[in-house]
């Protein structure tokens, strides 16, 4: 049994980790932290977990995290970097669901995240936890940078054509929409029901902090820097990301065959039949990314549609996928849910 610690158990990714790990046959949750709810029973706070977990939230300082085999940070940016070193020194493996270790160029990270990095040497060691590109490195990693929600959907959609070198790498366009749970559980005006329901808007058009993360991954796949326009939108649903990706083809290719071949054997990437239009509800509550490839009117612009659940493949599910790989467990263990419909 793996001894698990979770820092930040009251947020949306924290409760999603709890939902998954409470049913994981090889995991035992030893500690869940919350500064605000310390001393409160987890199942009293989240009735969905009644009968599944008897733990109480505890303060991070009293959690005994160094006794765990693995600790997940489901905290805001800038928290994991303060505690990762002492945990790693104690032999604990760490998965950060926030962005502290995602961007290799620390100067770029500091510019986008507007803080100084506490441990740049650990950024160099961290493995970017997108199993579809880094599975072998994840196996032996001590420290995983779990990808962002938009970056997961966008990179998985672009990867096959970018790796194949058959598109103009200077003009990649990602038009992405997220449900409001992507903004976390902390109350903010723009996610109030009266603001977000029956409304739709773009945000972060001049630059969103997922831009450098996506660009880093796709540049590595292309073997050269790529140019990317990334426009996120807030859409009035709770879970889900829908990314519409546009590329200009520089060579003719059977895109359907290319995508099917690239993701053959990937348990969590489903390439839909030609002409399909994936819906966010077709992945809701599951660790799946469903992708469809289109070439409207046979022209030289390809349109790729990629959908995920931001809290599962975009966060907690992918984190558990990484944990399964790190500990030599079956990769799909406890994350093989059938999506919820409707």
Ligand X SMILES: CC(=O)N[C@@H](CCC(=O)OP(=O)(O)O)C(=O)O
Nearest to 68 by CA among 145, 119, 5: 5
Residue 318 binding target from ligand NDP, ligand X, none, CB below 5 to 8 Å by type: none
Return the structure tokens found at 295. Answer: 């070439």
Does residue number 154 form part of the binding site for ligand X (CB under 6 A)? no
Choose which of 87, 149, 218, 323 interacts with ligand NDP (CB under 6 A). 149
Using CB under 6 A as the binding rule, the residues of this chain from 323 to 342 that contact ligand X are none
Report the alpha-carbon distance of residue 179 to residue 233 in Å, rounded. Answer: 9
CB of 34 within 8 A of CB of 57? yes
Nearer to ligand X by C-beta: 218 or 293? Answer: 218
Does residue number 286 form part of the binding site for ligand NDP (CB under 6 A)? no
Nearer to ligand X by C-beta: 259 or 268? Answer: 268
Least spacing, CB of residue 13 vs ligand X, in Å: 8
Residues 6+ apart with CB under 8 A from 55: 29, 31, 32, 41, 42
Least spacing, CB of residue 328 vs ligand X, in Å: 27
Strand locations in 24-171 (E) = 27-33, 57-58, 70-73, 93-96, 127-128, 143-145
58 is catalytic: no
Question: DSSP class of residue 187?
Answer: -
Least spacing, CB of residue 202 vs ligand NDP, in Å: 18
Least spacing, CB of residue 150 vs ligand X, in Å: 6
Nearer to ligand X by C-beta: 61 or 197? Answer: 197
Report the alpha-carbon distance of residue 291 to residue 96 in Å, rounded. Answer: 26
Which residues are at the interface with ligand NDP (CB under 6 A)? 7-14, 34-37, 60, 74-77, 79, 97-98, 148-149, 181-182, 184-186, 310-311, 314-315
């Amino acid at each position: 049994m793996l001894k698990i610690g979770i820092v930040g158990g009251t947020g949306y990714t924290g409760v999603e980790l709890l939902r998954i790990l409470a049913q994981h046959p090889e995991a035992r949750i030893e500690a869940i932290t919350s500064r605000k709810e310390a001393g409160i029973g987890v199942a009293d706070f989240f009735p969905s977990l009644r009968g599944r977990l008897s733990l109480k939230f505890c303060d991070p300082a009293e959690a005994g995290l160094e006794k765990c085999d693995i600790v997940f940070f489901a905290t805001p940016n800038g928290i994991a970097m303060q505690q990762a070193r002492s945990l790693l020194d104690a032999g604990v493996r760490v998965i950060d669901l926030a962005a502290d270790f995602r961007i290799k160029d620390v100067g770029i990270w500091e510019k986008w995240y507007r803080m100084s990095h506490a441990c740049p040497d650990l950024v160099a060691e961290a493995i970017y936890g997108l199993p579809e590109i880094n599975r072998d490195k994840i196996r032996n990693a001590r420290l995983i940078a779990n990808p962002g929600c938009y970056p997961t959907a966008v990179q998985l959609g672009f990867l096959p054509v970018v790796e194949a070198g058959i598109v103009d790498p200077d003009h990649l366009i990602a038009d992405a929409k997220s449900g409001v749970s992507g903004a976390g559980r902390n109350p903010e005006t723009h996610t109030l029901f009266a603001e977000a329901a029956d409304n739709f808007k773009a945000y972060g058009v001049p630059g969103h902090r997922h831009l450098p993360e996506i660009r880093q991954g796709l540049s590595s796949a292309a073997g050269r820097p790529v140019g990317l326009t990334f426009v996120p939108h807030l859409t009035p649903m709770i879970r889900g990301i829908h990314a519409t990706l546009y590329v200009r083809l520089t060579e003719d290719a059977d895109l359907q065959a290319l995508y099917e071949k690239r993701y053959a054997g990937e348990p969590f990437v489903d390439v839909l039949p030609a002409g399909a239009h994936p819906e966010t509800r077709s992945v809701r509550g599951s660790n799946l990314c469903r992708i469809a490839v289109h070439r409207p009117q046979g022209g030289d612009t390809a349109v790729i549609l990629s959908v995920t659940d931001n809290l599962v493949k975009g966060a907690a599910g992918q984190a558990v996928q990484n944990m399964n790989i790190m500990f030599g467990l079956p990769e799909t263990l406890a994350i093989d849910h059938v999506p919820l419909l409707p």
